[in-house]
Structure 1
Amino acid sequence: MQAAKSLTATALLCTLIAATIFSATPTALAQDPSPVYLASSGNLALDSHIQGLLEQTLGGQHQLVPVTDEQAAQTDDGPIVTLGPGAFSRIRQVNRQAPVLALLVEPDFLGGFARRSSGQISGIYHGAPLLRQALIGKAILPQATRIALIATAGTAELYDTLIDELPAYNLEAQLFVVDDDKQLISTLNRALSYGDFLLAAPDRTIYNPRTMKHVLLTAYRRNRIVIGPSQAYVKAGSLASGYASFPAMVEMAGGHLQTFFETGRFPDPGYPPQFRVDINEQVARSLNIPLATQEQIIQNVELRLDSHGGQGDE
């Protein structure tokens, strides 16, 4: 009799335990999604837009958590996505151990950090590779065969890969080095005498708000177009520039984050495979240059890249 009572009590206890376990699922027992931290650029509209895209890309697998600089200094359980060079610099100052994925940056800014901390620092570039930029110029000026490049001694390496790639596309380039600011316009005039168009890299020592007006006016007077370095300069007077859209950047960022969670390391920084083209039609009209549509220019570039088996993601 006593044994029967004992068995009954045990059965009741097991039932209670099972009921507790099942009632706790999924809230009490479910693990929270792994966090991904977000350091903002300070531009509320931009930050909100990219945050929304990131949340859609991450889905329920990871929780996107906006953080202040003070909070970022204490994080040690997830990667930090930074928006813009300012946010990246701030996070590096407060937390040098955190894995960081930088968005809205260019290779000349991020490249050194990524090389020194491979796998722990990476990024998605928001412009377009120089080869794509060069082929955008070729699509706009089909007769072009020579490209002018200008740089300082410290930034000339930005063009090394491009110069080697161009002959496969029946293009060649010559680099003109600016020794100091006073020689910028004279060097630019020599470059424009050589090239069918000027290709501008994201080189802040040459192309910045202080110098760009002079560069664009000089090119315009010489009846030459400028391609690149970014959308901002298209508005200022460059004829065209390739760029990556926000959805394309965020999609690629999602892939980098997934790889990090699976392996503990980010892939190398790079450009999204999809790109768009911004065009200054007023400049084209002023220089009497007929323009194809943006879609036609993109197709022209993609066909040239595909025919050589490359995407121009240097």
Structure 2
Amino acid sequence: MALALILLLPWPSIVFGQNGQPALPSVYIAGSGNTALDQHVTRLLRSELGESVELVFLSEGQETLVSASPVITIGPAAFTRIRQINRNAQILALLVERKFIQGYVNRSPGLVSAVFYDVPLLRQALTGKAILPQSKRIALLASTESVEIYEDLIDQLAEYNLQARVFVTDSDDQLIPTLIRALNYGDFLLAGPDDVIYNPRNIKHILLTAYRRNRIVIGPSQAYVKAGVLASGYAPFPAMAAKAGELLQTYFDTGSFPEPVYPNEFRVEVNEQVARSLNIPLPSREWISQYLDDLMLSSQEDSE
């Protein structure tokens, strides 16, 4: 659906409408190309922002019209497209993982921000703990280039009476032998946001190897639960839209974006069929989510 674009002046100039009243500030939306997804996210943003801004969806070829108004990008491809067209564009990125966007944020503070799509690794690890209360050790599988994504997690786990070890594999030939060593160490395997290891080509072999050794896999995302992962945290779309609204408000108040953030709410997706196959009593998704919220809040209060 074609939408009319209004003339925009650089921040902080005021644009007046035809009735002489100040026009609403405008925000562009650059879509992912998935029509259903783009429409869903746009509806949530409209609901969150109400009548405070005018949302202008960019049709294909209109990206060059982006000037002084902020742009919400849906997914990494949309972010890359806008960034290549205008390196000074003020972008709020949605549906992007922290590892993808953080470098851009560091290079363009105030111009680039995001609501992270991935779930903090600590929360994913504690999801495994909630399902297997007696667990003490977590196995982590990584490539040489991705080992660093687990460093903060390993430092955080001691507070929860957990420890973890990273097992490194850099080739297809090493993957399964390294995985077997990891499974012999850990009470469960935590899958992080590492596309080199956890991808459609590898995931079937990883899951079969784990479950033959009576080990569960947690993470890396909701999509993998359907593939056979036992459980994973995820951020619901309304929570991401709510946080996007907060970041936009800060932008309109100050003229620059704050640092990227995670949403305030996470949920848990589980695969009940896998749990039955492994004979694992599985708490409800709601119980797990509430347990994690309470556990992390208690830890935060203890540290203050």
Distance 1:92 1:26, change over 3 A: closer
Distance 2:204 2:299 in 1: 36
Matched, 1:214 2:205: yes
Aligned to 2:49: 58
Q: How far did residue 177 of structure 1 move?
A: 1.1
Superposed, which structure 2 residues align to 1:230-241 within 5 Å? 230-241=221-232
Asked if 1:126 corresponds to 2:128, the answer is no
The structural deviation recorded for 1:27 is 5.1
The alpha-carbon deviation at position 178 of structure 1 amounts to: 1.1
TM-score of the pair, normalised by structure 2:
0.91
Q: Determine the C-alpha separation between the residues in 1 that align with 2:178 and 2:117.
A: 29
Number of aligned residue pairs: 286
Conservation of the 8 A alpha-carbon contact between 1:69 and 1:94: no
Aligned position for 1:90: 81
SS at match of 2:300: coil
- Is 1:190 paired with 2:181? yes
In structure 1, the residue matched to 2:28 is 37
Q: Which residue of 2 aligns with 1:295?
A: 286
Give the Å deviation of 1:75.
1.5
How far residue 95 of structure 1 moved from its aligned partner, in angstroms, is 1.7
Equivalent-residue separation in structure 1 for 2:256 and 2:201 (angstroms) = 39
Aligned-pair distance for 1:259?
0.7
Q: Residue deviations 1:21-40, cap 9 Å, x none?
A: xxxx9852112111100001
CA contact 2:233–2:266 (8 Å) conserved in 1: yes
- Three-state SS of the structure 2 residue aligned to 1:203 is coil
Q: 2:225, 2:270 within 8 Å by CA — same for their partners in 1?
A: yes
Report the counterpart of residue 162 of structure 1 in structure 2.
153
1:152 touches 1:177 (CA, 8 Å); kept in 2?
Answer: yes
Matched, 1:271 2:301: no
Change (3 A) 1:69 1:268: farther
In structure 2, stretches of 5+ residues that fail to align are: 1-15
**Alignment map for 1:104-143 (pairs within 5 Å):** 104-143=95-134
Q: Does 1:78 align with 2:69?
A: yes
- Alignment TM-score, normalising by the size of structure 1: 0.88
- 8 Å CA contact 2:17–2:23 kept in 1: the answer is no
Q: Which amino acid aligns with 1:157?
A: E
CA-CA distance at 1:262 after TM superposition: 1.3
Residue by residue over 1:58-86, the C-alpha shift from the partner in whole angstroms, topping out at 9 and shown as x without a partner, is 12221100013532223112111011111
Unaligned stretches of 5+ in structure 1? 1-24
Q: Secondary structure at the match of 1:97?
A: coil
Letter in structure 1 aligned against 2:109: S
1:213 aligned partner, one-letter code: K
Q: Name the structure 1 match of 2:5.
A: none
Give the aligned residue type for 2:156.
E
C-alpha displacement at 1:234, in angstroms?
A: 0.4
Judge conservation of contact 2:131–2:283 (CA < 8 Å) in 1.
Answer: yes
2:13 matched residue in structure 1: none
Q: CA deviation at 1:88?
A: 1.1
- Report the secondary structure of 2:92's partner residue: strand
1:204 maps to: 195
Q: Percent identity?
A: 57
Larger radius of gyration: 1
Question: Could you report, residue by residue, the CA deviation over 1:152-206 in whole angstroms, capped at 9, with x for unpaired residues?
Answer: 1111111111100000011110011113232111111111110000001111111
Please give the alpha-carbon distance, in whole angstroms, between the structure 1 residues aligned to 2:248 and 2:60.
21
Matched residues in 2 for 1:68 and 1:112: separation?
27
Aligned residue identity for 2:91 = V
Query: Aligned equivalents of 2:104 and 2:199: distance in 1?
Result: 22
Q: Which AA in structure 1 matches 2:285? A: Q
